Amino acid sequence: MKKFDIIIIGGGHAGIEAAWISDQMGLKVALVSMTGVPLASTPCNPAVGGVGKGQVVREVDALGGLMGKIADLSAIQYRTLNESKGHAVRSTRVQVDKEKYSENAEKIIASSNVEVIREKVSKVYKKESMFHVELGKKGLKASKVIVTTGTFLNGVVHTGEEQSSGGRIGQMASDGLQDLFLSIKTAPTRFKTGTPPRLDRETIDFSKLEPQESDPKTQNFHVLDNLYHRELEQVPCYLTRTNNETLSIIRDNKERSPIFNGQIKGVGPRYCPSIEDKAFRYPERNSHHVFIEPEGLNIPTIYPNGISTSLPKDAQEDFIQTINGLEKAKILVYGYAVEYDVVDTINLSKTLEYKDIPGLYFAGQVNGTSGYEEAAGQGIIAGINASLAFLNRGPLVLERTNSYIGVMVEDLVSNRRDEPYRLFTARAENRLFIREDNTTNRIHQYRKLLGLNSELDQFQTQYMAEYIQLDKYCEKFIFKSNDETKGYFKKMEYGPLDDNVTLSQLLKRSKLDPVATLKNEVEGFLFPVVQAVAISKKYEGYINRANLENQKLVKLGKKKIDWEKIVNSASISNECKQRIKDIRPETFSQAQRIKGIRPATLAFIAGGI
């Protein structure tokens, strides 16, 4: 039995983040992945980032994770979403070359001390304080185990009427993880996730479609990379739409859809609906966007984003060919849905440790999230915390007030999921403060606690020093209201200068782009610093106002509560008692977030604080 400090089961996005950071922190790491499954594969949309998710990628990057780096190395199209809607809601999204992504992931992991073991896990059990992971004849043991098995837990694949056991098409389900896992509480609802068919690139008529070129102004994810460097050749994506014909074929095939005929019992995410979901939920709409995304530079398949389906094969062929530009399209891989069990995350603590089995952690889609970015975020948190626990140090918990990762982890452990969890900017209460451009400001305090001294840490130190300096400068520097400066203002189109104005006040002017303005006025600072200071200044007033209003709530939210005492009081309804017993909230804000909790109960709890 080979002994490790930590064993990670599952080589997906969560797994590699956990493995990498644990290695960085000096632990002896084993990463177990099934044969035939590439590391960090992108089985669904070959894209990283997006609204809310781009922010997570950058947060993972700032903590020292891999996703940003790998994405930059593998990206073939860059876009900035919500570009015209203000800096707070901007998100970066890249299309990646599927093969290159996994290749790069393998390369980077190979460059570390992580031992990658390609075997199927047959049994996991705990003896004394050690976990034993059996792989057929061999075995491993460690005091910390992180499970990142994704959709493989009791996975069943559906393509129309055909079903097979698997976590993904062509890949076996991991039935072996049953023993320890018999004692793991899974969520009462099975989840499902679906994916669209893959089309043969050669059979698509691109001349009929609207191109979306890669944006050269979109900034790379990894902070140590040159902002605008493009490692790979850039290609455009294309836009087309479904039409009446498409939708009527889908509607005609309702009985043959596993989602609607009851074959699949799992619940899919509402916001990532299959084309069947869209067809039946919005009967009046017949035109849905379909984004034609290349899966790689040298890969023959196209990923049509927006028509995820589990209809039978012939139905898939029929409706695809009604779409503009896809009339002659050939299907190389049919669309399918996977139904799987997920961990009941209310049994996890904020470090993603399973409360009843110390030393065991869960991260990624196995917790009921959907999305590579959400998985990576959990992976790095579980990895950091398992390592800190191993080193007998205190836990690292990110706050929901300053990070999307914090929002996600707290949401996961505070409520039972009844559908797959995906991050949106809407989940964060203060979007103005949690932005892409100020990731280093928000995350640096956490990275510091790891006590490492890599290139990333040095960058962050320099960044913070420059930030403080530039911030002060903006407050101190005054444009005097004299003729010469007025003329300058006119030339630069900064607006009027009737009174003296500080640089900070200038940046707040609503007609100006704060970043461009600040860039004009200072020299010698890192561009990311200039960018972050400028945008922060612009939003300063609004953020302060929101903070003031929220102070009462935030103060109240942080107060600790004694859930046992509350549950024993006679004044709470049985329903609320049950929910509180399930979740075991530790603070008032956790209680607030409990689904279905009555305002009166909250008032009662608040009154008792």
Partner 1 sequence: MIYLNDGLPIIACSTGTTSNTAIAKIRIGGFENLDALTPFFSKNLLNLRPNEARLLEIMHEGKVFDEVVAIFFKGPNSFNGENILELDVHGNQVNVQRIIDLFIDNKICRLSYPGEFTYRALTNKKMNLSQVEGLDVLINSHSNFAFDQGMATLRGELNEKYKLLLHYFIKLKASLELSIDFLEDVGEESAKKEFAASFSDFNNLISSLYQRTRGNVENLMTPTITLIGQTNAGKSSFFNQLLLNNRSIVSDYAGTTRDYVSEGLSIKNTDFKLIDTAGIRETFDHIEKMGIERSFELGKRAFFKILVVNPFETNPDDFHLLKDLEFDFVIFTHSDLVGMVEKRDQLLKNPNFPNHYNNLSLSLGPIGPDESISGPMGPGKNISGPMGPDKNTSGPIGPIIEELKNSIYSKFTELCEKDPILVDRHRRVLEGLYIKTQEFQVVTDSLDDLGIISSELNLIENDIQELLGIISPDDVLASIFSNFCIGK
Q: Would you count residue 426 as binding partner 1 (CB under 8 A)?
A: yes
Site for partner 1 in 434-463 (CB under 8 A): 435
CA dist 323 and 194 (Å) reads 20
Of 482 and 544, which CB lies nearer to partner 1 in the complex structure? Answer: 544
Handedness of CA 540, 405, 85, 97 (dihedral sign): positive
Structure tokens belonging to residue 586: 């530790």
CA dist 71 and 49 (Å) reads 9
Q: Which stretch binds partner 1 (CB under 8 A): 66-74, 97-105, 443-451, 596-604?
A: 596-604
CA dist 598 and 180 (Å) reads 36
Q: Would you count residue 606 as binding partner 1 (CB under 8 A)?
A: yes
What DSSP letter does each residue of 534-592 carry, written as one string? Answer: HHHHHHHHHHHHHHHHHHHHHHHHHSB--HHHHHHSTTS-HHHHHHHHHH---BHHHHH
Least distance from partner 1 to the Cβ atom of residue 599, Å: 4
Residue whose pair of structure tokens reads 């305002």 in the numeric block: 599
Of 130 and 543, which CB lies nearer to partner 1 in the complex structure? Answer: 543
Q: Would you count residue 129 as binding partner 1 (CB under 8 A)?
A: no
- Number of residues in contact with partner 1 under rule CB under 8 A: 43
CA dist 162 and 256 (Å) reads 11
Assess contact for 155 and 165: CB atoms under 8 A: yes
Q: Which stretch binds partner 1 (CB under 8 A): 397-405, 445-453, 488-496, 598-606?
A: 598-606
Q: Would you count residue 235 as binding partner 1 (CB under 8 A)?
A: no
Least distance from partner 1 to the Cβ atom of residue 607, Å: 6
- Which one of 449, 468, 516, 600 is in contact with partner 1 (CB under 8 A)? 600
Spell out a b/e string for 112-135, using b for 16 or more CB atoms within 10 Å of the CB, else e. Answer: bebbbbebbbbbbebeeeebbbbb
What DSSP letter does each residue of 180-232 carry, written as one string? Answer: HHHTSPBPSS-EEEEE--EEEGGG--GGGSEEEPPPTTSPPSSTTS-TT---S
Q: Which stretch binds partner 1 (CB under 8 A): 221-229, 430-438, 471-479, 485-493?
A: 430-438
Whats the size of the chain, residue-wise?
609
- Which one of 228, 271, 488, 527 is in contact with partner 1 (CB under 8 A)? 271
- Which one of 284, 491, 570, 574 is in contact with partner 1 (CB under 8 A)? 570
Assess contact for 274 and 310: CB atoms under 8 A: yes
- Which one of 158, 431, 442, 537 is in contact with partner 1 (CB under 8 A)? 431
- Which one of 247, 360, 413, 572 is in contact with partner 1 (CB under 8 A)? 572
User: Do the bridges between strand 237-241 and strand 289-294 make them parallel or antiparallel, or are there none, so unpaired?
Assistant: antiparallel
CA dist 38 and 99 (Å) reads 9
Least distance from partner 1 to the Cβ atom of residue 271, Å: 7
Site for partner 1 in 52-91 (CB under 8 A): 52, 81-82, 84-89
Site track 1-30 with partner 1 (rule: CB under 8 A), x = hit: ------------------------------
Structure tokens belonging to residue 414: 């505070």
Site for partner 1 in 275-334 (CB under 8 A): 288-289
Closest alpha carbon to 15 in 321, 378, 369, 322: 378
- Which one of 425, 517, 589, 590 is in contact with partner 1 (CB under 8 A)? 425
Q: Which stretch binds partner 1 (CB under 8 A): 184-192, 444-452, 481-489, 564-572?
A: 564-572
Of 11 and 306, which CB lies nearer to partner 1 in the complex structure? Answer: 306
CA distances for 306 relative to 159, 240, 241, 309, 418, angstroms: 17, 10, 9, 9, 23
Closest alpha carbon to 380 in 397, 401, 392: 397
- Which one of 454, 458, 571, 578 is in contact with partner 1 (CB under 8 A)? 571
Q: Would you count residue 392 as binding partner 1 (CB under 8 A)?
A: no
Q: Would you count residue 424 as binding partner 1 (CB under 8 A)?
A: yes
Query: Which residue(s) pair with 116 in the sheet?
Result: 31
CA dist 58 and 80 (Å) reads 14
Least distance from partner 1 to the Cβ atom of residue 308, Å: 13
- Which one of 111, 510, 523, 574 is in contact with partner 1 (CB under 8 A)? 510
* Amino acid letter for position 48: V
Site for partner 1 in 531-560 (CB under 8 A): 539, 542-543, 545-546, 549-550, 552-553, 556
Q: Would you count residue 574 as binding partner 1 (CB under 8 A)?
A: no
Of 216 and 599, which CB lies nearer to partner 1 in the complex structure? Answer: 599
Least distance from partner 1 to the Cβ atom of residue 89, Å: 5
Q: Which stretch binds partner 1 (CB under 8 A): 169-177, 228-236, 393-401, 424-432?
A: 424-432
Q: Which stretch binds partner 1 (CB under 8 A): 2-10, 352-360, 426-434, 471-479?
A: 426-434
CA dist 581 and 566 (Å) reads 10
State the number of CA atoms in the 13 A half-sphere of 43 facing the CB: 25
Structure tokens belonging to residue 481: 């209201």
Least distance from partner 1 to the Cβ atom of residue 306, Å: 8
Assess contact for 289 and 304: CB atoms under 8 A: no
Least distance from partner 1 to the Cβ atom of residue 597, Å: 11
User: Which residues would be at the binding site for partner 1 (CB under 8 A)?
Assistant: 51-52, 81-82, 84-89, 271, 288-289, 424-426, 429-432, 435, 510, 539, 542-543, 545-546, 549-550, 552-553, 556, 570-572, 599-604, 606-607
